[in-house]
Amino acid sequence: MNKLQSFTVSKLAVTFIRLTLRSKSTGPRPSAPLGSRPLTNPEDIFKHNMWDHVQWTEEDKANAQQMIEENSSEQLSLKEQGKFDTEACHYWDKFYEAHQDKFFKDRRWLFTEFPELLPSGAKSPATDVRYNPTPASSTDPEAGRHQRSKHTDFHSKASCENATAETKEAAHFPGQHASFRILEVGCGVGNSVFPILNNIKGTDSFLYCCDFSQRAIQLVTDHPDYDDSVCRVFVHDLCEETASFPFPPQSLDVILAVFVLSSIHPDRMRGVVSRLSSYLKDGGVFLFRDYGRHDLSQLRFKKGQCLSENFYTRGDGTCAYFFTKEEVHDLFSKAGLEEVQNLEDKRLQVNRKKKVVMRRVWMQSKYRKSLPHPPS
């Protein structure tokens, strides 16, 4: 009997050790550092799912441009185009009604690429177990520098305390007692909201998030992690010039817009960015990530889906614009913001099972509202 017990205990111990080792081998590990995975040997292309700092040949550029010229050769009439602007909310409501919160994944890369989302002194979250598929990279020689060392820490004590007299005298508003405030525009179903909320709790911070889709906002408020003590979610149409926000001007430390501006008609973008920028504190930062020109998704559009130059409608009625670095800089600088980062993120995405290679292009930018000059 003792031998049987001894054997059983020994077997359990071995099983426990094996499970422990397995859990360690599959536990969190540092994501690949920015720029650490350039493709130096073409024979290695299918060893990883993503490669950094992809250089495009002149032939690559010419082929992409030719595809764009072909798919934009037939544009929809002005009458047909109008509905994609005036009925945009309807199309996005239908999108979220169909997909609920299952279409997009939570953006766990946010704090790697945008450490400005964390207030000064807050601990950075643990890195995701998977290799980040969309970190910033660029052929720009500055792209490889670490974000914290390359850029000013916008959330110094002076910046957090830089509330204007107008803000101090404003009527009560949600989040007024927080020392650090974030606004995410076009929040959708919360793929950025909940990673942010989980990392600002206990930091005297407050998150505002909005979307013009009532259905999306309902999905956010229904989420078990939604906490109205540190978050205010509301319906808001960024293109509506007279629409108000639940906070006063110059009260925000950070504005986040991830794949949002591309869905807006190009003629409306400048007004949207200008209005949003007025809500930043001096020293506050606008964080932006969106589609870049010649991205695979632009090349895949068919004839008859083009609304105007580099602006398309998808089959479900939602729209997408594809930016260049110059356009991004023009958009934010004319809103009175200073460039901190403006990267063209070119990557090589690989489907190793199907042996398919895809070229992706994203824009990633950070623009700051200037601090006032000290009196001479």
pLDDT bucket at 271, cuts 50 / 70 / 90: very high
Residue of higher predicted confidence among 26 and 360? 360
pLDDT bucket at 17, cuts 50 / 70 / 90: very low
Instruction: Give the pLDDT of residue 327.
Output: 97
Instruction: Give the pLDDT of residue 89.
Output: 56
48/196 Cα distance (integer angstroms): 29
116/305 Cα distance (integer angstroms): 37
Which pTM value belongs to this model?
0.75
Query: What confidence tens digit (pLDDT) does each residue in 272-326 have?
Result: 999 999 999 999 999 999 999 999 999 999 998 998 999 998 877 788 999 999 9
30/42 Cα distance (integer angstroms): 25
* Whether the predicted pLDDT of 150 surpasses 90: no
pLDDT bucket at 184, cuts 50 / 70 / 90: very high
Instruction: Give the pLDDT of residue 273.
Output: 97
Q: Which of 154, 182, 196, 185 is nearest to 340 (CA)?
A: 154
Query: What confidence tens digit (pLDDT) does each residue in 199-237 have?
Result: 888 899 999 999 988 888 888 898 888 999 999 999 999
Q: What is the average pLDDT across 113-123?
A: 82
Instruction: Give the pLDDT of residue 191.
Output: 87
* Whether the predicted pLDDT of 337 surpasses 70: yes
pLDDT bucket at 359, cuts 50 / 70 / 90: confident
* Whether the predicted pLDDT of 57 surpasses 60: yes
**In whole numbers, what is the pLDDT of the chain averaged over residues?**
77
Q: Quick one: three-class SS letters along the chain? A: CHHHHHHHHHHHHHHHHHHHHHHHHCCCCCCCCCCCCECCCHHHHHHCCEEECCCCCHHHHHHHHHHHHHHCCCECCHHHHHHHHHCHHHHHHHHHHHHCCCCCCCCCCHHHHCHHHCCCCCCCCCCCCCCCCCCCCCCCHHHHCCHHHHCCCCCCHHHHCCCCHHHHHCCCCCCCCCCEEEEEECCCCCCCHHHHHHHHCCCCEEEEEEECCHHHHHHHHCCCCCCCCCEEEEECCCCCCCCCCCCCCCCEEEEEEECCHHHCCHHHHHHHHHHHHCCEEEEEEEEEEEEECCCHHHHCCCCCCEEECCEEECCCCCEEECECHHHHHHHHHCCCEEEEEEEEEEEEEEECCCCEEEEEEEEEEEEEECCCCCCC
Residue of higher predicted confidence among 183 and 84? 183
Highest mean pLDDT among 48-57, 151-160, 185-194, 291-300: 291-300
Give, in order, the Cα–Cα distances in Å from 98 to each of 84, 86, 90, 267, 354.
18, 21, 12, 29, 28
Q: What is the average pLDDT across 40-50?
A: 78
* Whether the predicted pLDDT of 153 surpasses 50: no
Among all chains, which residue has been given the structure tokens 């290799």?
A: 131
* Whether the predicted pLDDT of 95 surpasses 80: no
